[in-house]
A and B are shown apart, each in its own frame.
Chain A
Amino acid sequence: MNLKQLIIAFLAPRDPAAYPAAAIAQRINASRMLDRRCTVDEVENALRSLHKMEMVGMNINKLDDSPVWQITPNGFKEWAITGKVTVV
C-alpha cells in the first residue's frame, strides 16, 4: 500500500477524530505497513494531495494554529474500495 492509502487507512476508521500530520506519520511508521519510514513532510504533502481530491478535510487547531486532518465522505468511499484496511 502507498502512503496515501495508509493515511486513509489510519483516518477513516477513527472518524471523526482529527490528527496533525506528525501524529499520522508516527502511527504509520509504528504500524510498519509502509516498506520504509515516512517523514512528516511526506505525510503533509500526501495530505495536501488527498485534500485536493477531497478525501481528507483540514481544520485549524485554535489552541496552537496548527492544521489537523480528518476523513471526508470521499475518503470513506476510497477506504471501502481498498478493502477497509486499517492502520492499527
Chain B
Amino acid sequence: MTTRCYRSKIGRLPFAVRNELNERIRDGVQGPDILGWLNGLKETRKVLREMGASVSGRAASAAPINAQNLTDWRDTGYKHWLEDQKDADRIRRLAEVSQTLASAAGGNVAGVGCSIATAKIMDALESADDDKIADLSTALVKLRASENAAQKVALAEEKNAIQKEQLELSRAKFERDTARLFVKWAQNKDAIALATDRRLGSDEKTERLGRLMFGDLWEGAEDGK
C-alpha cells in the first residue's frame, strides 16, 4: 500500500467516509443511492463548502458530487482501494501459513514463542515470490493430510489396544469365575456323583452338570435365547 493524495471532491473526504464509499461500491450499491447517501453527509458538505470558498473566495459551496465524480472515483481511488484490499488479503493468508508452520514445528499456538516464530516466518514469506508461496501452501496441505492420516491410524491402534485389554479382562474374569464355581461345586455331592459316573459320556455329563449348576439359565443358553 502507498500513501495517495486525491484532489477530487471524493478524494478530499475523510478516510473513513471514502472507505465506506468503497465498500458500498464493492457491494454493488447503485450510483444514485450512493450519491444520495454521500451528498447527505455533513463531511461532504464541509468539503464542498471548502472547495467552493477556495474557488470563489466567498462562502459559496461547490456543486454536489455527481455521477461523473463517482465514475472518476471508480477509476482511481476505488481501484487503488481494491489493490490495497488484495495486499491485505495476501498478508492475512501469509500470516495463517506462518502460524501453521510455527505450530507444526511444535510451538504452542497461544504461546509467545509461536508468535515470535510466526513473525520470523512472515518476514521470510513476505520477501518470497508468489510461486514459492504457492508451493509451500501445497506442501502444507499435503503435510496436514498426512498428519490426519497418521492420526487416524494412531486412533485405530488405540481403539484396538482398548478392545484387546477388554478381552483380556473378560478372559481373566471368566477364569476366576470358573475356578470359583469349581471350588463351590466340588463340594456338592450330586455334582461329584455326576462327574464321576462312568456310565455317562462326556457330553451327557456336561449337559447334566450344566442343568444342575445353572438351572433354567443353562437351558436358555442351550436354546440360544
Contacts and interface: CB of A to CB of B under 8 A. Distances in A.
Interface in A36-73: 59-62, 68, 70
Contact of A23 (B95, B112, B115, B119): B119
Nearest to A16: B115
Interface in B65-108: 84-85, 87-88, 91-92, 94-95, 98-99
Given A82-B16, A86-B84, A86-B87, A14 B1 contact: no
Contact of B112 (A14, A15, A33, A60): A60
Most chain A C-beta atoms within 10 Å of own C-beta, residue among B15, B95, B113, B115: B115
**Chain B interface SS verdict (over half):** helix
Contact of B3 (A13, A35, A68): A35
A33 B91 CA distance: 17
Given A13-B95, A33-B3, A61 B16 contact: no
A31 B85 CA distance: 16
Contacts, number: 76
Contact of A32 (B3, B95, B119): B3
A56 B62 CA distance: 42
B118 interface: yes
A17 B118 contact: yes
A18 B16 contact: no
A85 B95 contact: no
A33 B122 CA distance: 20
A68 B119 contact: yes
B51 interface: no
A86 B81 CA distance: 11
Interface residues of B, number: 26
B19 interface: yes
A14 B123 CA distance: 10
A83 B19 contact: yes
Contacts of B84: 85-86
B56 interface: no
B77 to A, nearest CB: 12
Contacts of A35: 3
A88 B98 CA distance: 16
A7 interface: no
Contacts of B53: none
B179 interface: no
Contacts of A86: 1, 84, 87-88, 91
